[in-house]
Structure 1
């Protein structure tokens, strides 16, 4: 699978799939290959029952510089300039944006948990990408910027929709309106990241350790918890309680539940199979 991708590398090991951004643009910038390949990669990983958790990270010193403007010029140019910029071109541009949204939507809708590990710069589309993950870690030198306003674009790949749920309306509006840079400490204070690690090496080790803990739990229970939380995001507590009660009534009985009790009684680590 990984051999077919130009912008990604997939590394799978014992229930964990690392989705590594590799460019080929500078700073793992996101060109045409990325927008085509990312949704496909997520679909394949979601269908792979051996994968229990996804870890998204960047190759090298940075997470991502965001949209690779130079590489996208050939695609975007005819749709945003020229004398024939009419309904046909507007429709094609709309369709292009919607296809690009599939890269972040695929992560957000993935039934398996997704963790992002951010080192170095995370700009523009990189923010859209990590906002679609379940939670985020970063290293001390990480820097972030929702920079679309500086290049004459309204962020349209999910950050403006998801960040308010993560960091609140005020922080999101400030970041979107100023297009300024902010560091790891600010990201931690506003709640964009769960933890800051002292170095990229410590970040990767910490992210992998957390992914390992997730992968060691019953996969269907973890996926169920994610689905319940997603459902409850815009519902009342009463609706959420009703939903999780029905969920457990339907799915509580499992071989993994029996294994959990057996392992507790026998004082050994459980061996969950997702059944």
Structure 2
């Protein structure tokens, strides 16, 4: 594919061994719709194979990293489970495969041979946490805000945060954030180790780090990433496979319907455990 044409959710620029990948929407707050999930693995698989690229910088446009999953745009993924025959085994298997495909989009950052640096400004919510957790270095601006928010919309996070965050911030903090769904600021993200630096000009600092990585011996840099990923990613994949089956069985619920309705009506959801 050409990385300079036909992209709607991402913009790619390559210079001096560094590829910059910018989230550009088209949804508000760079929310992640069908274009994003289709283009992300195309871009990162291409960058992985491009010998001129030695490191990658990922960041969002418009003052935010991403609002996370674009629920209205992704409604067709969930619709089969919410229909009258949502208990149909074939529909549930199709939904499991849809989860797997979204997981593979996120996995493309982890399997990219080149180190990926994510620079977070503004909001980084839900699926955006899954994305940055799959990158190698994470930095943020003091204005960045984060949330593992899936629990608020009656979803078990299924794209990697529950599998990768324990290795980054520890199991206790991961459970805390995933069970409460609460927002947290950049200072807390830094103290937890989710991000390793805070920088006022976070994209500028990201460019500095990407250049530092790109100046090192490329095969050694790639080796560091591969060796560190070797043990972790097998465990991550096991967890991803498990949550595919869990959500295929349990996501179709009255609580999920209530979450979707409350979101559309801009009101707090009232969950009943059904």
TM-score band by shorter chain is: 0.7 to 0.9
Is residue 10–residue 17 contact of structure 1 (8 Å, CA) maintained in 2? yes
Spell out, residue by residue over 1:198-244, the C-alpha distance to the aligned partner (whole angstroms, 9 max, x if none).
x3xx1111110010011011111110111122235599xxxxxxxxx
Q: Which residue of 2 aligns with 1:240?
A: none
Is residue 2–residue 8 contact of structure 1 (8 Å, CA) maintained in 2? no
Q: Following the alignment from structure 1 to structure 2, what is the Cα–Cα distance between the partners of residues 10 and 233? A: 28
Correspondence for 1:141 among 135, 140, 143: 143
Task: State the 1:23 CA deviation.
Answer: 1.2
Q: Which residue of 2 aligns with 1:151?
A: 153
Is residue 116–residue 133 contact of structure 1 (8 Å, CA) maintained in 2? yes
Q: What 5-or-longer segments of structure 1 have no aligned partner?
A: 236-275
Structure-2-length-normalised TM-score: 0.82
**Which protein is bigger by CA-based radius of gyration?**
1
Q: Following the alignment from structure 2 to structure 1, what is the Cα–Cα distance between the partners of residues 186 and 227? A: 30
Q: Which residue of 1 aligns with 2:226?
A: 227
Q: Which residue of 1 aligns with 2:211?
A: 212
Q: Which residue of 2 aligns with 1:162?
A: 164
Distance change >3 Å, CA 61–CA 233, structure 1 → 2: same
Spell out, residue by residue over 1:138-160, the C-alpha distance to the aligned partner (whole angstroms, 9 max, x if none).
00010000000000101000000
Is residue 77–residue 95 contact of structure 2 (8 Å, CA) maintained in 1? no
Q: Which residue of 1 aligns with 2:85?
A: 84
SS of 1:185's partner is helix
Is residue 58–residue 119 contact of structure 1 (8 Å, CA) maintained in 2? yes
Spell out, residue by residue over 1:150-192, the C-alpha distance to the aligned partner (whole angstroms, 9 max, x if none).
0010100000000000000000000000000000000000000
Runs of 4 or more, structure 1, over 4 Å off, are 232-235
Correspondence for 2:43 among 26, 41, 44: 41
Cα-Cα RMSD = 1.3
Q: Which residue of 1 aligns with 2:196?
A: 194
Correspondence for 2:63 among 52, 61, 64: 61
SS of 1:4's partner is coil
Q: Following the alignment from structure 1 to structure 2, what is the Cα–Cα distance between the partners of residues 229 and 154? A: 27
Work out the number of aligned pairs and report it: 231
Q: What 5-or-longer segments of structure 2 have no aligned partner?
A: 235-274
Q: Following the alignment from structure 1 to structure 2, what is the Cα–Cα distance between the partners of residues 189 and 80? A: 39
Distance change >3 Å, CA 82–CA 74, structure 1 → 2: same
Q: Which residue of 2 aligns with 1:252?
A: none
Task: State the 1:76 CA deviation.
Answer: 2.2
Q: How does 1:120-131 map to 2 (within 5 A)?
A: 120-131=122-133
SS of 1:2's partner is coil
Is residue 152–residue 181 contact of structure 2 (8 Å, CA) maintained in 1? yes
Q: Following the alignment from structure 1 to structure 2, what is the Cα–Cα distance between the partners of residues 92 and 173? A: 29
Q: Which has the higher relative contact order, 1 or 2, with Cα contacts under 8 A spaced 6 or more apart?
A: 2
Structure-1-length-normalised TM-score: 0.82
